[in-house]
Structure 1
Amino acid sequence: MTVDITHSVDPIISSSEHIGMVDDFAAHNYSPLPVVAATAEGAWITDVEGRRYLDCLAGYSAINFGHRNREIIAAVTDQLGRLTLTSRAFHSDRLGPFCRDLAALCGKEMVLPMNTGAEAVESAIKVARKWGTEVKGVPAGQASIVVAAGNFHGRTTTIVSFSDDPVARTGFGPFTPGFRIVPFGDAEAMAAAIDDTTVAVLIEPIQGEAGIIVPPDGYLAAVRELCTSTNVLMICDEIQSGLGRTGTTFACDHWDVVPDLYTLGKALGGGVLPVSAVVGDSNVLGVLRPGEHGSTFGGNPLAAAVGSTVVHMLGTGYWQDRAATLGTHLHGRLHELIGGGVTAVRGLGLWAGVDVDPTLGTGKDLCKKLAERGVLAKDTHGSTLRFAPPIVITTDEIDWAMDQFAAVLHT
């Protein structure tokens, strides 16, 4: 495949000028690649100088359906001309259909709409504690939640309280109590951590930030059985792994596991705006009463219109099937590189974690070299790279990206 990675644009400012302004005026809580996006379409991003890049990150799965997906943009455009925000002080005509359709997609009864992924996780924690106190009978203030080592559920103060990543934690204490960390993939350790105060287990079915870590077969089913037998809620964080990314609607589907609560986000907003939700049955989410939890923007008409469109798109099964087929191709190409600079490949569907021989450089070094060749990817934890292109990518584009990756490994 031959790819033209230049394109004519009329830049407002140069890349170097923009990067300088970010360095001067934006908080330094990110260390991005030196790429300044100006426009995007499908799986491609064009920078302010007109250089094109194949996006193999997709906004950490927020852009599953491609940049400026026509169906999603049409829904946004229509809704912008009608109604954008009411708060939850009264109803909008978009909220009910969105909650109904998302609940049906998940096989659940009720939706708690929020905005960001971290908000969804925080909301699930609150719901679990309330459920534990009122339904399970755990004494007030004693509820505990079991989580997995290597987790990433966001960066709020409560969430970093149960992270084991020193970068996320250092300097941000005091931390919120009530969490126990056990090794990911170890059902026996999970069982040992559960006691009479435990109200929930919170896990990613596939750990994203840790390097796309897939659990051993049987693990999620064992956790599901354990939660059922001990009257503990199983909460699965599908914010990155869900909504088609792994070749199924949810990553849990690969193991035929249904949690009590899903936390969703990223792709639920169609790559347009932040939309998140906690989805479960009324016997759990029904513990919330007016005034106990809320969000001015949660479930706003614009978000609901986008979320409904995403749910409709996923309802066809097309995107899940496409991610599965293209994912097989992606993983096949990546496995060909094992022994040639790649030491391990993990993942499912269009989601891959790739460990590279550290003598070739850090993951950030390799991502910079890839960007120079027109491919955008993201590193995590040393010399691990993540590939998660939009599901609109083609096999030819995957092949071209893997050719660039192979070239980087040999330079």
Structure 2
Amino acid sequence: MKTKTLLLMIVALMVNLSRAQDVTTVNAKNSDISDNLDLRAVASLFGESANLEEFEQKLNDPKEQISNLDLNNDGKVDYLRVVESTESNTHVIIIQSVLAKDVFQDIATVEVEKDANNNVQVQVVGDVYMYGSNYIYEPVYVTRPVIYSVFWTDYYRPYYSPWYWNYYPTYYYTWEPYPVFRYRRDIDRHINVHNHYNYVNVRRSDRAVAIHNNRRANGYETIQPNRSFSQRNNNVSNRYELDKTREKAVSGRLNGADSRGNSTSTRGNESVRNSSTSVKTAAPVRSNTSVRTSAPVRSNSETAVRSNSSTRAVAPVKSENTVRTNTPQRSVSTRSNDNVVRTKSQTATPAQTTPVRIETRQNTPTRTETQTRTVQPARSSNPPARTQNSESGAKRTNGRG
């Protein structure tokens, strides 16, 4: 028994270790640089900012920690600076990661354009090196952002971040990046759920594309040319397709777990049904036994039935003791009413004494079998003569009274 238990423990430990290794492998394959900055959170912050200076401050707020990027692998989240280029009614806001002195890498752009009908179109576009080609979100804000009223004024000047490597604002301090799974879990609280973030794969403004190409910074791409999104992920073209692939993989694992769980629960239900069946088959045995043993009592006189009902409240323990000692003759000459009841139960036929014991013990099947065994040896070879003696004894008793 101990050997079996030890073997089961070893098998369970091996299964847990294999599962842990599988989970680690899946996380390593699914992690990507683009996981460390959610563009929906960027679009949400942009709509809540009064100007681009405030937008840059929210991107780098240590308390909010919107970004989790560490491209230069120095163990600290990179500072994100904001640089703007404008042309006519088109504004291109470029978000760049500060990696070293005069080394920057474009992460994403916010492209804002107003048409002839004064309708404003906003697209948040992930850099092709970081997120793949045509990874674009179009936010639809529940309220018109305040920053729209600033862009098209006569005195407006494009914003250019004054901060650079080792020269940062006073509110900013560095922090260590979190594991990717934790960042992806916590970033949702920074996304305004009242807005809508529609995914598209076409850039609407050709002018914005031309403006960005003239100002694009690719310092990290130059250092790591083999780390582009297309080379990190061979089977998908951008981050959106990567997310869809992950969702399918997760749903497949969940479906497999559900099928195994259903099969386990089915086996459990079968065991419950088997146990309930055994209970149902045992119940009729008890009821049949009580009916068969009590039937002869009902055919006798009403006095015997009444004595049985009184025996329940008088002394069930004493009646049981008299049967065990097998001395019914000693209690024949009794005086009290309680003793009379006992005499009747003792001098009764085995069919009469059996239901008394069953009713006293509340129809317990085990006790019924024991009582039947004790009564059967008491039968004599001449039952009719014993019955007559008991009747004559009763007459003598009544005569003496």
More strand by share: 1
More helix by share: 2
Query: By the TM > 0.5 criterion, same fold?
Result: no
TM range (shorter): under 0.3
Give the TM-score normalised by the residue count of structure 2: 0.21
Which structure has more relative contact order (CA 8 Å, sep 6+)? It is: 1
**Which of structures 1 and 2 has the bigger CA Rg?**
2
Give the TM-score normalised by the residue count of structure 1: 0.21
